[in-house]
Amino acid sequence: MKRVWARWVVLAAIILGLFLFTGFFGIGLGIKPIMPHVYLPGEKLSETPLFGIAGLYPTNTLVGLLLADIVVILIAIGVSRGVKSGKTVLTGISGAVEALLEMLHGITEGTAGKWTKQIFPWFATITLLVLAANWSGLIPGNETVGLIHHYDHGYDLKQVGPITTIWDEGTDDGEHHGEYAIVPFLRPVSTDLNFTFALAIVAVVMIQVFGFRSQGLGYLTKFWNTKTLFSKPIFGVIDFGVGILELVSEISKVLSFAFRLFGNMFAGAVLLFVIGSLVPVFAQSMFYLLEFFIGLIQAIVFGMLTMVFMSQATQGHGEHHEEAH
């Protein structure tokens, strides 16, 4: 036990030393931290459209999506191999995935009741995919390694050994006059509005599908509620108005799903850049940890909101309202 403790201290000292060394080394050599230019849509890696379809360019967020997909598929293969091996206690990654899925299944059972079996796959799939997409933004080299292209308000070029990099030759007045910027090869796909909107539309459409599956065409009375329009003088009109509002809220669900994930992840990426350009040593590590946490929270929130809305759609709002009045 004592030896393990000593090993941690030595490791921490080595990492601290490396931090300080690179920090002072960089200052000594006159390397200035760089604030890369922030670009909201996914950047194009090539100007030729994919498969000859106009407007479909290979962007770096597309590479991020492929990476996230591959990770999810590899996890699936690993877990199924672990399950087939016949061990009662799964170890390693499949054990971790089992713990996560068990937690998600517990939450689903508490909310969805008898629809757990139908709703849980959506919850788990969305959570795993978004989690892989969010955490792919934490891989070192992501958003910093890429193609150099021409950009008017960029930095200068410099050859460091075998690597060509952008370099701030900056004058003292803070102006830089270089003309180059980097288009990274890889960018987490959740910083692309196209991905979050697609996922949000899939989620909201499936919420309606679950409503129809559980209540048939009666689900439509949630939006066009004329049942009580003539039997109850004032509350009938209110019920009708609430139905119209429900329709609006379904549309705003798409917006809030998409912008919540996109806003959190894009702001996180920009935050890491800004902190890195202000304090090149130490400070970024803390925000890196914060991003790790936010990536997990946002993935679970996206999946959990989908799950809760789905189970609300299966429960039938109309009946509850009548009991309440």
Partner 1 sequence: MEAEAAKLIGAGLAMIGAIGAGAGIGVVTSGAVQAMSRNPEMTGTIQTNMILGIAFAEAVAIYCLVVSLLILFVF
- For partner 1, the binding residues (CB under 8 A) are 38-40, 106-107, 110-111, 256, 259-260, 262-264, 266-267, 270, 297, 300-301, 304-305, 308
Helix (H, G, I), strand (E, B) or coil at 51: helix
As a whole number of angstroms, the distance between CA 195 and CA 227 comes to: 39
Task: Give, in degrees to the nearest 5, the angle at Cα 223 between 217 and 226.
Answer: 85
Question: 146: part of which helix (H) or strand (E)?
Answer: strand 146-154
Q: Which amino acid is at 146?
A: G
Helix (H, G, I), strand (E, B) or coil at 165: strand
- Say how many CA atoms lie within 13 Å of 38 toward its Cβ: 14
The whole-angstrom separation of Cα 255 and Cα 200 is 8
Any idea which residue has 């987490």 for tokens? 188
Cβ(138)–Cβ(290) under 8 Å? Answer: no
Angle between helices 193-215 and 116-135 (to 10 degrees): 180
Query: Are residues 182 and 147 in contact, defined by beta-carbon separation less than 8 angstroms?
Result: yes
CA distance 257 to 310: 14
Distance CA 284, CA 277 (A): 9
Q: What is the DSSP letter of 169?
A: -
How far is it, in rounded angstroms, from Cα 313 to Cα 221? 12
CA separation for the pair 125, 130 (Å, rounded):
8
